[in-house]
């Protein structure tokens, strides 16, 4: 961060929102800052706040402008920003680590070889590296509960495909631009389909409805196809055989 | 007490004011496209505005009363009749057991609403009954469905003077965090241009067309995906504006030039295909003042409700009514 850098930047959002942006690119520190700052906003519990969220490098606050003025919100946000170096702040507490059984490649995830080649790796090495990559939920969006995960190591900075894959199924693990997504539902995508899980991000009618929270971490551990079939046959809770543990604060 | 759906248009869903607090989970609010219509229905039936109603996009349906039920009709006016006799829009009516309410195509605007006394008592999900089809929450209402209503008592046969918001018009907007990505010339041209609602429109958003060049942001097209609010006016790659509506995504990478105020969102959503729309910037202070006035107006709608006086020409068999029962003396 240079001195000419305008970040962190406070801006208004429509009639009833404020946005604190920590960078104009997704970096590990800017995402960390957004998550930590949003955590602090949540803890502050200002009266008149309706909800808050994060995107890749920003924290958003929506409030009732008749109870809490824009000027007051801007002043409070500036004061909170000045309290510490948010780029170095610890992540919020209460985060979880998910270990999700994943079939890499096969006809279930036919773009693994292509992705490995784009990363300059042979398939076995790509699976070895991906299977032990611990990635963070950078943000949730596009579809309910659907995580954008990263950052992966630099070799996985592979571009999106020019041509959309017409449909990948729920639980598909896809890769592009040093990020992973586990799809919440069947969807077309330009990201390469490298793995398949039975993990459901969005579970209407179950508790909790949303499996993940921003800041959670995930590891996609390689399994054989037969194991996934077994998991699918016993997947009433939608976790897809995932093991979950608390991350110590 | 309920209605059975005998016939239904292709895009009818149960809607209330939507669900808040799930933005960080990628779930936008949903809720009625025309929030004012929910308040008008509530005023007509003298009930709370947070109850659910049936939102009918473009086309209604036919509904049979399983038991006596009060209904109200608001939003975009549609052809409506009870057992074949036309009934007034922006009004409440009593349906007797077995009677059929028939609602046809929209006459102007986009979204009509059928309210039940006591509200539609479907199962809430995360605190709201609103369907959100883009997020796979709920589904469109189908033939054979039953619309159960909540506990209810009260009168029918009332009307409300509704605000005409079904032909487009001027939408007041406020600058948002990406407005500065557009240069002054583009912003001035945006405000001076008359747009027409394009054919691409649903509860996620509606495209606006105009003659002449598009409204592109300068440089910075590779912006990070950022939070979206309903009412945001998003510029696609071609520089065509889209007004984003209740089922919009929670974040998006296209720049947003401005945000339509909540008080003008019903007018925006109700603009019919081809309807003319202009955008007018107001300051954030003015926007907050307008918002306060709008909320105050919604809270006072019940003062605009009055008895529906039937025009004798609308009564098919006047002689069957006992017009003089109870009258003792002409000089009372």
Residues A127-161 pLDDT 10s: 999 999 999 999 998 889 999 999 999 999 999 88
Domain containing B257 equals: 169-295
Same domain? B62 vs B191: no
> Is there a single domain that holds both residue B287 and residue B181?
yes
The total of other beta-carbon atoms located within 10 Å of residue B7's CB is 14
Opening angle at CA B33, ends B27 and B37, nearest 5: 135
Residue A1 has pLDDT above 60, yes or no: no
Quick one: pLDDT at residue A163? Answer: 85
A74: chain B residues, CB-CB within 8 Å:
none
> Quick check: B331 pLDDT over 60?
no
Hey, is the C-beta of B284 within 8 angstroms of any chain A C-beta?
yes
Please enumerate residues of A whose Cβ is less than 8 A from a Cβ of B. Answer: 11-17, 19, 21, 24-26, 38, 50-58, 60, 62, 65-66, 69-70, 139-146, 184-185, 202, 204, 209-210, 213-214
Mean pLDDT of B321-325: 48
To the nearest whole angstrom, how far is the Cα of B308 from the nearest Cα of chain A? Answer: 36
Of B126, B148, B163, which residue is a domain's last?
B163
The DSSP element (H or E) to which B64 belongs, if any, is strand B61-65
> CB-side exposure of A126: number of CA atoms within 13 Å?
23
> Which of B53 and B238 is assigned the larger pLDDT?
B53
Percent of chain A whose pLDDT exceeds 70:
98
- Chain B nearest-CA distance from A101, in A, is 23
Q: What are B214's strand-pairing partners?
A: none
Q: Do A146 and B26 touch (CB under 8 A)?
A: yes
The reported pLDDT for the residue numbered A42 is 93
- Whether the CB of B280 is below 8 Å from some CB of chain A: the reply is no
pLDDT at B63 over 90: yes
Pairs of residues, one from chain A and one from chain B, whose beta carbons lie less than 8 Å apart: 115
- Does the beta-carbon distance from A141 to B249 stay under 8 Å? yes
Segment A101-118, tens digit of pLDDT? 999 999 999 999 999 999
Q: What is the pLDDT of residue B237?
A: 75
Query: What is the C-alpha separation between B40 and B76, in angstroms, rounded?
Result: 12
* Torsion sign, CA atoms B223, A51, B175, A143: positive
Are B8 and B135 in the same domain? Answer: yes
Given this structure, which CATH class describes domain A96-246?
mainly beta
CB pair distance less than 8 Å for B27 and A65: no
pLDDT of B322 higher than 70: no
CA distance A147 to A126: 21
Are A212 and A140 in contact by the 8 Å Cβ rule? The answer is yes
Residues B13 and B94 both lie in one domain? yes
Whether residue A86 contacts residue A22, with contact meaning beta carbons closer than 8 Å, is answered with yes
Do the Cβ atoms of A14 and B259 come within 8 Å? yes
Q: Architecture of domain A9-88 in CATH?
A: 2-Layer Sandwich (3.30)
Same domain? B47 vs B187: no
DSSP B203-244: SSEEEEE-SS---PPPS--SPPPEE--TTEEEE-TT--EEEE
User: How far is it, in rounded angstroms, from Cα B43 to Cα A129?
Assistant: 62
Q: ipTM score of the complex?
A: 0.90
Residues B105 and B190 in one domain: no
Q: Residue A215 to residues A10, A55, A146: CA-CA distances in angstroms?
A: 22, 11, 13
Tally the C-alpha atoms within 13 A of residue A232's C-alpha that lie toward its C-beta.
14
d(CA B277, CA B263): 15
Secondary structure of residue B26 in the 3-state scheme: coil
Contact between A229 and A197 under an 8 Å Cβ cutoff? The reply is: no
Instruction: List chain A domain ranges.
Output: 9-88, 96-246
Which of B20, B23, B25 to substitute to test the interface with A, most A CBs within 10 Å?
Answer: B25
Instruction: Reply yes or no on whether the pLDDT at B106 is more than 70.
Output: yes
Q: What is the pLDDT of residue B313?
A: 61
Query: Does the structure show a pLDDT above 70 at B327?
Result: no
Q: Is residue B325 part of a domain?
A: no
Identify the band that residue B330 occupies on the pLDDT scale cut at 50, 70 and 90: very low
Could you tell me the two tokens for A228?
Answer: 């996934």
Contact of B247 with chain A, judged by CB distance below 8 Å, is answered with no
Mark yes or no for CB contact A53/B291 under 8 Å.
no
**Residue B326: band (very low, low, confident or very high) from pLDDT cuts 50, 70, 90:** very low
pLDDT above 80 for B315: no
B112 and B211 assigned to the same domain: no
Judged by CB atoms closer than 8 Å, whether chains meet at B250 and A51 is answered as: no
Q: CB of B95 within 8 A of CB of B65?
A: yes
User: Within this chain, do residues B33 and B64 fall inside the same structural domain, yes or no?
Assistant: yes
One DSSP character per residue, A124-143 reads HHHHHHHHT--EEEEEE-SS
Per the CB < 8 Å rule, is B250 touching A210? Answer: no
CA of A122, closest CA in chain B: separation in Å? 31
Q: Do B291 and A140 touch (CB under 8 A)?
A: no
Give yes or no: residues B26 and B149 share one domain. Answer: yes
Q: For residue B103, list its beta bridge partners.
A: B80
Question: CA A106 → CA A112, A122, A194, A196, distances in Å?
Answer: 8, 15, 9, 9
CATH code for the domain in which residue B264 is found: 2.40.100.10
Which pLDDT belongs to residue B222? 64
Query: Which of residues 20 through 49 in chain B touch A, CB cutoff 8 A?
Result: 20-27
The average confidence (pLDDT) of chain B is: 92
What stretches of A105-230 adopt beta strand conformation (E)?
A: 135-140, 147-150, 165-168, 172-176, 179-182, 187-189, 192-196, 217-222
Neighbours of B194 (CB within 10 A): 12
Asked if residue B183 and residue B36 are part of one domain, the reply reads no
Distance of residue A26 Cα from the nearest chain B Cα, in angstroms: 8
The total number of structural domains in chain B stands at 2
pLDDT band for position B146 (50/70/90)?
very high
pLDDT for A205 equals: 85
Q: Are residue B115 and residue B97 in the same domain, yes or no?
A: yes
Crossing angle of the two packed helices A28-44 and A70-82, in degrees rounded to 10: 120
- The encoded tokens of residue A136 equal 């963070």
CB count in 10 Å sphere of residue B89: 19
CA distance linking residue B117 with residue A19, whole number of Å: 41
pLDDT at B248: 95
Nearest to B251 among A66, A141, A209 (CB): A141
Which residues, at least 6 apart from A72, have a Cβ–Cβ distance to it below 8 Å?
none
C-alpha to C-alpha distance for A178 and A129, rounded to whole angstroms: 13
* B284·A12 Cβ contact <8 A: yes
**Token pair belonging to A194:** 């490298």
B24-38, B42-56, B216-230, B310-324: the lowest-pLDDT one: B310-324
Contacts of A15 in chain B (CB under 8 A): 174, 229, 231, 259, 261-262, 284, 287-288, 291
Q: Suggest the residue from B125, B250, B257 to mutate for an interface test with chain A (most A CBs closer than 10 A).
A: B250
Cα dihedral B295, B297, B299, B305 sign: negative
Q: Are B46 and B65 members of one domain?
A: yes
Q: Assess if residue B38 is contained within a domain.
A: yes
């Amino acid at each position: 961060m240079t001195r000419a850098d305008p970040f962190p930047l406070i801006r208004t959002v429509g009639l009833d929102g404020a946005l604190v942006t920590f960078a104009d690119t997704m970096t590990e520190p800017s995402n960390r800052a957004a998550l930590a700052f949003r955590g602090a906003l949540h803890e502050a519990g200002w009266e008149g706040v309706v909800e808050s969220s994060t995107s890749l490098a920003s924290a958003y606050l929506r409030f009732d402008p008749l109870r809490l003025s824009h000027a007051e919100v801007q002043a409070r946000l500036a004061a909170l920003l000045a309290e510490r170096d948010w780029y170095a702040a610890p992540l919020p507490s209460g985060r979880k680590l998910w270990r999700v059984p994943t079939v890499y490649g096969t006809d279930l995830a036919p773009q693994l070889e292509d992705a490995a080649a784009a990363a300059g790796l042979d398939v076995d090495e790509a699976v070895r590296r991906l299977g032990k990559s611990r990635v963070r939920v950078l943000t949730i969006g596009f579809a309910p509960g659907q995580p954008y995960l990263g950052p992966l190591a630099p070799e996985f900075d592979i571009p999106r495909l020019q041509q959309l894959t017409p449909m990948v199924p729920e639980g598909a693990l896809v890769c592009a631009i040093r990020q992973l997504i586990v799809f919440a539902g069947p969807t077309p995508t330009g990201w390469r389909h490298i793995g398949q899980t039975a993990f459901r991000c969005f579970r209407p009618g179950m508790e909790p409805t949303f499996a993940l929270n921003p800041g959670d971490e995930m590891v996609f551990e390689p399994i054989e196809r037969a194991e996934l079939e077994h998991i699918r046959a016993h997947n009433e809770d939608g976790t897809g055989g995932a093991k979950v543990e608390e991350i110590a604060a | 007490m309920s209605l059975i759906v005998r016939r239904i248009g292709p895009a009818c869903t149960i809607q209330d004011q939507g669900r808040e607090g799930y933005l960080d989970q990628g779930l936008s609010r949903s809720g009625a496209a025309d929030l004012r219509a929910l308040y008008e229905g509530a005023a007509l039936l003298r009930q709370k505005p947070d109850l659910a109603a049936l939102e009918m996009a473009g086309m209604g349906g036919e509904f049979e009363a399983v038991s006596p039920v009060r209904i109200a009709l608001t939003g975009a006016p549609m052809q409506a009749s009870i057992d074949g006799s036309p009934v007034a829009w922006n009004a409440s009516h009593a349906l007797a057991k077995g009677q059929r309410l028939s609602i046809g195509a929209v006459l102007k605007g986009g979204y009509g609403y059928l309210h039940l006394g006591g509200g539609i008592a479907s199962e809430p999900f995360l605190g709201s009954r609103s369907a959100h089809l883009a997020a796979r929450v709920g589904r469109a209402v189908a033939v054979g469905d039953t619309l159960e209503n909540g506990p209810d008592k009260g009168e029918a046969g009332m009307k409300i003077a509704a605000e005409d918001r079904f032909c487009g018009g001027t939408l007041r907007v406020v600058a948002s965090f990406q407005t500065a990505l557009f240069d002054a010339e583009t912003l001035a041209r945006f405000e001076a241009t008359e747009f027409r609602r394009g054919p691409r429109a649903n509860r996620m958003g509606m495209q606006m067309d105009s003659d002449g060049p598009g409204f592109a942001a300068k440089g910075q097209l590779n912006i990070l995906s950022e939070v979206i609010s309903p009412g945001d006016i998003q510029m696609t790659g071609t520089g065509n504006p889209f007004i984003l509506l209740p089922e919009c995504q929670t974040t998006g990478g296209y720049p947003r030039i401005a945000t339509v105020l909540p008080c003008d969102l019903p007018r925006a959503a109700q603009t019919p295909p081809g309807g003319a729309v202009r955008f007018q910037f107001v300051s954030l202070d003015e926007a907050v003042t307008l918002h306060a006035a709008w909320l105050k107006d919604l809270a006072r709608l019940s003062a605009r409700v009055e008895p529906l006086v039937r025009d004798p020409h609308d009564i098919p068999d006047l002689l069957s009514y006992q017009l003089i029962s109870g009258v003792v003396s002409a000089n009372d």
